[in-house]
Structure 1
Amino acid sequence: MTAPVLVETTGDGTAVVTLNRPDVRNAIDSVLLRELRAALADLDGTEDVAAIVLTGADPVFCAGLDLRELSGGGPLEEAVDRTQSRPPWGEPLRTPLIGAINGAAVTGGLEIALNCDILIASEKARFADTHARVGVLPGWRLSVLLPLAVGPGLARRMSLTGDFLSADQALRAGLVTDVVPHDELLPAALRVAATIAGNDQAAVRTLLGSYRRLESELVGDGDRVEAATAREWLAAAPGSADVERRREDIIERGRAQNRG
C-alpha cells in the first residue's frame, strides 16, 4: 500500500513532505491527516532540519477533506476538531514551512496552503474556497488567514462564490510570492528552503515566532470567532450526507473553470 505522506530529507538542512493520494486528488482522509501531523511534528523536532517544503503528488496539491469519508462520520470527523481554529497539524511549527503548490488547492487544501509561511506556485496552481458550496465551514483558520493574504474584499469574493483564482491572479493578490514553470516548482521551493537553512537558525525561528505573534495581534479574536461560528453551524446544519451530494458538482465546476 502506497504511503499517503512521503518524507524526504535532502541533507542540506531541508526536507520535502508530499501529500500522496493522487488517485483521489490528495484528499485528506483520517490516515493522511494523522501521518501529515506526525511527519511535520517529527521534522519540526529535528534540529538539522531548518526548512520544510510541503507539496502534493501531481496533478493537484490538495482537494480538501475526503468528503466520502467525512460524509460517513467516524475517524475523519473525529480527527478534524472544529471546536477551535488552529492549523491542520495542530500547533504552529517552529520550522519555516514552504508550500510548493503544484496544482489545485481547494477548501481544506487552501487552508493547508494558507497555514504555510511562504507559498510558491506552479503555473498550474489554482486556489478556491468552496466551503459554502459544500455546505461546511472552515476550521483551520481560513477566514482568519485569507483576508490577511489577499485583502478582505477578494477573500469574501473567494469564499462567497467558490470561484477559482489562477496562479497569476494569486501572485497579483499577494497570496503567493512566485509563479514558476511546473517542472521548476520543487527546485525553486528548495532554493528558498536552502537559503533559509543557511541563515542563523536561532534568529530565523525567533523572527518567525515574532511574525506569528504580530499576526495574532492583528487578527485579535479571529480564531475564536471562526471556531464559534463552526460550532454553531455544526449544531444547526443538515447532516454530512448532503456534503457528499454536492461533491461531484464542485469538481465539475472546477474542471469547467479550468477549461475556460
Structure 2
Amino acid sequence: MTLEFRSVTKQFATPTGTLTAIRDLNFRVEEGEFVSVVGPSGCGKSTLLSMTAGLYQPTSGEVLVSNRPVTGPNAEVGFMLQKDLLLPWRTILSNIEFGLEARGVARAARRERALQELKHCQLEGFGEQYPYQLSGGMRQRAALARTLAIDPEIILLDEPFSALDAQTKLIIQDNFAATIKETAKTTLLITHDLAEAVLMSDRILVLSERPGTIVAELKVDLPHRESPLKRRVLPEVADYAAQIFKHLKLENQAA
C-alpha cells in the first residue's frame, strides 16, 4: 500500500491561540518503501504519524492510504511506539494476540498467528512469560510481534528503539529491518538518530522547525537495507548523516 500527504496542514487550539504543528506537507511513500522523518523536537513528526493512523484529521489537505482518504483508525495501519505498552497482566503470547482479539478473530486462529510471530521475532519459549520477566529488547520484539500479528500493510514507528541500550538497539534494528524487508511492508519511521535513519531507510525527509514542512529529501542509495549491521560499515553512511545534519543546522540558523 502507498501513503500520501497532499498539502496537509494541522493546527491545534491552545489557551493562547492557534498552534500550527505542520504546514503544507507533501510527500508520498511507495509500496514496500522505508522512509524516515527527522527534524527538530516539536516540529510535528508525531502529529504526522497520528494523522496517518487516523487519530487526528488534517485542518486542511488530505492524508491518503492507497489513494483513499484516511478518515479514522485503519486496520491496514500498524503503530509501534517508543514504549512497548505491553499489558502487564497478560502473557507475551496473549499480548501478541491482543489486536487480533479486538478484531474478533477466533481464538484458534489468533493463537496460531501469534505463535508464528513469536517465532518470527525470535521469542520462542517466552510466550508464557509476563512482560516484567523479559528484558527491554525482548519486550520491544514482543511489541513488534504484536504489531505484525494484525498484518498491517503500513507500519508507523515513533522512535521505537530510542529507549534501548546501544547493543540491544543494534540487534533489534537488524531483526526488525530483516522482517520489514521480507514482508515488504510500507514503513514510516520517526527518529532523532541520524545514523539510524541512514541505516534503515530508502529515503529520508528532513523537516523544518515548527510548523514542520519538508526542507530536504535524501535518497539513500546504499545496499543492505535488510541489515543495518551490514550497512553501518559502509563509509557513505557518515556522508549521508553529515548531509542531514547540514540541513538541520541551516534550518536552526534560519530560525
**Structure 1-normalised TM-score?**
0.31
More strand by share: 2
Higher relative contact order (CA 8 A, sep 6+): 2
Query: Which protein is bigger by CA-based radius of gyration?
Result: 2
**Structure 2-normalised TM-score?**
0.31
